[in-house]
Amino acid sequence: MKLFYKLIPAIAVALCLNGCTGETEPDCPYTGSGEVTFVIGTDSGLDIGVNSRSSDSQSGKITDLRYVIANEHGEILNPHYQKLEPDFSRLTIEGLKYGEYTIAFLATTGDDKADTGQPASLHDIWLQNGSDTSPVDSPYLYKKVNFTITKEQKPISQQILLEHCVGKIDLRISVSSEYQWRFIRNVRITFDNNGDIPTAISADGQYSGAGRIQAYDITGNQEFFSFPSETPLSGFVEITSDRSDGETFSYRYRFADCKIEAGRISHIDIDYRHPESDEGMMYVREPDFCKFRTDTMFMADEPQSVFYDASKRSFHADAPLQLSISDDHRLRVRFFSPVAIRDVKIMCRFGKISSEFLELAHFDVIYPFMEGDFPIPAVERDAVFTTSSGRKIRIPAQPNLSADDVTLIAETDDPYMRKIAQIDSHWYIRFSPYGADNGHAYWRHMTPLLCRHGVALATNMAFMFSSEDFNTEMEKYDGLLLDNSRNPIDLNTLRSKIRNHSGLVLGRVSGVGGLGGGTTYGLADYCYTGVYFDATPPGSNPHNYPRQAMFHEYGHCLGYNHSSTMTYGDRWTVLCATVFVNMGQSGKLPVNSITEVTGLPM
């Protein structure tokens, strides 16, 4: 805030004007010992604080406060001792002689954008607009108080309630569905010449100047603050929007009878129009994600209560992209992958209405580990959809839409999803602390980063076992893979056992490389991170300890013990590790490099 008077530190500071050195100077009427304390508050009855359409209204807490003190002639003074509390709740001034004084306060509860002058008297400008075509856009409060220092110089204590010296204009845009917000790119407001708005306020609280707001950008909060107007104003709001294909257009909406009053909110209502207002399909372009409820799973601060909750953090290896309808009737998307996919079409069949699938949504990109809820236009209004056969049909509003009402499928030609489509097992993957809270010798808690590595590991392993590369190489081990009784394992039986395995519950161990059996699958940190092809130097033996542990524990999950060749030795684990490294090195796995996981934001 560039206000005239510099903020006084909380530590007491003695400040004097030139030529005033103390009480020995009889011509300095403000160098006495008079003490006055102001207890500062705001008018709680007013509610024009800073709002955001993505967060709750901020409180009326003062974020910055300035003040000036003047003698009976209106000249700005500088007393010897001034102490302003850090929370702006109390101001103490000492060093005032007998006489009449005025103190003026200027504060804000938001971010200031205004330019200021440097008044020498109360009549001078203190705060003014940045220009004649933009408002003083911050919630400013002002108060001027007269007080007297008596000859006895008894201490004075006075309560001060700051009042708004600006009004707020709130633009209320009515959209046919929440999804329509995605189209809006820019919002600007212009007032006509039928009334001027003050551009400044002086230290004694008088408004002055005449300006007109022109093309003022209010895209963010769709509101702004301004000095009050004397008469109702008219003008227009220009909204620049996109179509689904990215084409941009603008439309002007007229308004009238908007009077700006200090301490009050004036509303401008706009009935937003868009040429695609009847369309039911959501087109989520890459620049639009900030306008939706999107998040990223397994961030560093994700609590254990979330990533151990199978209802929130579990997936099938052959279906990492999860689509569902949330309890508040939105399209919920969760993607268990460290690799982004592009050009994804979501098809929907409304079971009670149509036997055909309809185009519900199209995503330019679905980001790694993305979790998001997206508004469905048809929940709020009738909507027109295109069916898979190209027909146009109108679906009535579905205000109570639930998962039971629809079938959702994803269509994409993305390379990552083409690989996923080759997985022939339906492993169910989730996470568990096991005995980490019970003093177990080996089990420890997972971390969000290890969960990400676990997603990559399980996906890669399921893909590798389904691949032609693995099945061809495994033929070379026919008769060499022995079960718990040291009998040769039929390879087709083994393939079926892998394909029909129910899945893995991933955990973390310490002190051993891994623990496994059935669905239990625990690895040490260095095993989760050490299995990628580039986790070891080029040309080194693929059968390193992390890869050995990875496939050793999965051998246990398939029901084999240490008497078999499916855990220790130079057969099963060597076969798996060699194919795994070769496929990663040639880019054949869904997640090939460790950097595809470690390079993501945490």
- Average per-residue pLDDT for the chain: 88
Q: What are phi and psi of 550, to 5 degrees?
A: -55, -50
Give the C-alpha separation, 148 to 153, whole Å.
Answer: 9
Q: Any residues with CB less than 8 A from the CB of 349 and at least 6 apart, and which? A: 355, 356, 357, 358, 406, 407
- Of the chain, the percentage scoring pLDDT greater than 70 comes to 90
**pTM for this predicted structure:** 0.71
Cβ atoms within 10 Å of 521's Cβ, excluding its own:
25
Which segments of 338-423 does DSSP mark as H helices, in order? 377-380, 415-420
Tokens of 108: 């804000």
Burial of 22 (0-12, 13-18, 19+ CB in 10 A): exposed
Domain over 13-164 is classified CATH 3.40.720.10: no
**Distance between CA atoms of residues 543 and 547, nearest Å:** 6
CA distance 532 to 464: 13
CA 110/CA 582 separation, integer angstroms = 59
User: Rounded to an integer, what distance in angstroms lies between the CA atom of residue 161 and that of residue 337?
Assistant: 56
Give the Cα-Cα-Cα angle 361, 366, 368 (nearest 5 degrees).
155
Residue 276: the pLDDT is 84
In contact, 106 and 3? CB cutoff 8 Å: yes
Pairing verdict, β 370-375 and 330-335? antiparallel
Q: How many helices (H) and strands (E) does the chain have?
A: 10, 36
Instruction: For residues 544 and 577, give the distance between their C-alpha atoms in angstroms, rounded to a whole number.
Output: 8
Record the tokens describing residue 282, joined without a space: 């959501």
For the chain, what percent of residues have pLDDT higher than 90?
A: 69
Q: Is 125:119 a contact under the CB 8 Å cutoff?
A: yes
Using alpha carbons, select from 171, 145, 391 the residue that is nearest to residue 271.
Answer: 171
Task: Give residue for tokens 């004649």.
Answer: 132
476-515 pLDDT per residue, tens:
999 999 999 999 999 999 999 999 999 999 999 999 999 9
pLDDT digits (tens, 9 = 90+) for 162-173: 999 999 999 999
Which of 22, 3, 12, 119 lies closest to 70 in space, CA to CA? 119
Least-confidence region, from 349-353, 407-411, 427-431, 467-471: 349-353
In the chain, which segments carry CATH 2.60.40.10? Answer: 13-164
- In the structure encoding, which two tokens stand for residue 302, read together? 């994700």
Does residue 557 carry a pLDDT above 60?
yes
CB 416, CB 410: distance < 8 Å: no
Q: What is the pLDDT of residue 528?
A: 97
Count Cβ neighbours within 10 Å for each residue of 151-165 and write b for 16 or more, e otherwise.
eeeeebeeebebbbb
Name the token pair of 112.
């200031």
Say if residue 2's pLDDT is above 50. no
Would the pLDDT of 116 be above 80? no
Tokens of 279: 């369309």
CB contact set of 549 (below 8 Å; sequence gap of 6+)? 513, 514, 523, 524, 527
* 18 Cβ contact partners less than 8 Å away, ≥ 6 residues apart: none
